[in-house]
Amino acid sequence: MEETQSCFCLEEMEKIGREKMDKSVAKYIYGGADQHQAVSRNREAIKEILLAPKVCAGISKRDLSTTILGQKVDMPIGFSPTMCRAWITDEGEIYAAIAAGEANIPFGFSSFTETSIEDVGESMADFENPLKIMQMSIYPEKEMTMEIIKRIKKAGFQAIAVTVDHPVHGRRDFDGGDDEEPEIWQETGLPNFPKKLLYLHEKEKNNKDPDEIETTHETWQQITDLKEWSGLKVVVKGIARPEDAEAAIKAGADAIWVSNHGGRQLGDGPATIDCLRKIAPVVKKAGVDLYIDGGFRTGSDVLKALALGANAVFIGRPVLSAIAYNGYEGVKEMLGILRKELDISMALCGCSKLSDIDQSILWE
């Protein structure tokens, strides 16, 4: 087996990982809506924020641990729920799950993934209560939703992330019908969808991509219902406005997740870090957790989000890049890089623990 040279940063890892991917798969993973402008905007907005070094702060050791959804984790970084991990390699989803379990960080699992809920649950069974978050929708019939709830509870998931920023499918040049659409669409199923919904979709024969399957258009009442039906923590993912964060909290959300779907829905939407600035005061006042994703590639990036009020940062594409780069070992290496970068950045900004982090470390 060819030996893989270690990477200095996630940008380097992505470059190598992309080169190893099938061209159509890479186009699907790294692309965005419209002219891909929201993907680049996420990164650019984070880069515009600078950190303010603090000296003579007596910082000898750093503690990166925190509490997410009431559960202690070893650092404020988690895996966003994304499909495609098993597109890269059959065991991609399992590699990510095990790496998250070993690192004791939150693991986000997508309902659109190609690996079953049960297989992921089994792969993480040896870890002591790892935090597993299932992304799902509220389906057209209660029985459909309950079918999935029963499965995720049996597999040991503690929380559900409801994606609310996908009422319609964003316009993407890598979707639907062209010659470069990944062939793997036809080779993988959707083992985590309600059986009846899949049957109805098959009956329609609309030749839609899997992530174009209609679920329902979520309402705030449905968030309340899901919390009641499941008895699990409910995270509302895809929030960009303060008033929507307030409505989600009123509906019973245990956490707010600022996200623009990786820039894959609305090309002219704002960067998530800019949304965070406006949403954080509302969420902090309510006393619920606040998460963010979208363009985070370094430990310094993570520190900036924490300073603006996030409790945790979730990453999607970097996990896929790491799997393509070097499988399970690649995911472990990627997490090691982020942990080291965050640790160093905290030290240079005079922070020994996460509770020391606030906006005073930002260069305004």
2 in any annotated domain:
no
Helix H, strand E, coil C: the string for 35-47 is CCHHHHHHHHHHH
363 in any annotated domain:
no
- DSSP calls for 219-230: -HHHHHHHHHHH
Query: How far apart, in whole angstroms, are the C-alpha atoms of residue 57 and residue 59?
Result: 6
350 in any annotated domain:
yes
Active-site hit among 36, 166, 169, 261: 261
Whether residue 213 is predicted with pLDDT greater than 70 in this model: the reply is no
Rg (CA), the chain: 20
Question: Can you give the pLDDT at residue 179?
Answer: 47
5 in any annotated domain:
no
4 in any annotated domain:
no
Known catalytic residue: 217? Answer: no
Q: What are phi and psi of 273, to 5 degrees?
A: -65, -30
Residue of higher predicted confidence among 160 and 192: 160
Residue 320's contacts (CB-CB under 8 Å, 6 or more residues apart) are 17, 29, 82, 84, 85, 88, 92
pTM of the model: 0.92
364 in any annotated domain:
no
Token pair for 156: 């040991």
What CATH number should be reported for the domain holding residue 115? 3.20.20.70
55 in any annotated domain:
yes
Q: Report the number of distinct structural domains present in the chain.
A: 1
pLDDT digits (tens, 9 = 90+) for 116-138: 999 999 999 999 999 999 999 88
Token pair for 307: 């300073």
Question: Can you give the pLDDT at residue 1?
Answer: 42
Domain span at residue 143? 10-357
pLDDT band at 269 (very low <50, low <70, confident <90, very high): confident
Binding-site positions for glyoxylate read 28, 172, 261, 264
pLDDT band at 209 (very low <50, low <70, confident <90, very high): low
Binding-site positions read 28, 110, 135, 163, 172, 237, 259, 261, 264, 293-297, 316-317
pLDDT digits (tens, 9 = 90+) for 53-108: 999 888 889 999 999 999 999 999 999 999 999 999 999 999 999 999 999 999 99
Binding-site positions for FMN read 110, 135, 163, 237, 259, 293-297, 316-317
Contact 152, 117 (CB under 8 A): yes
Query: How far apart, in whole angstroms, are the C-alpha atoms of residue 364 and residue 359?
Result: 9
345 in any annotated domain:
yes
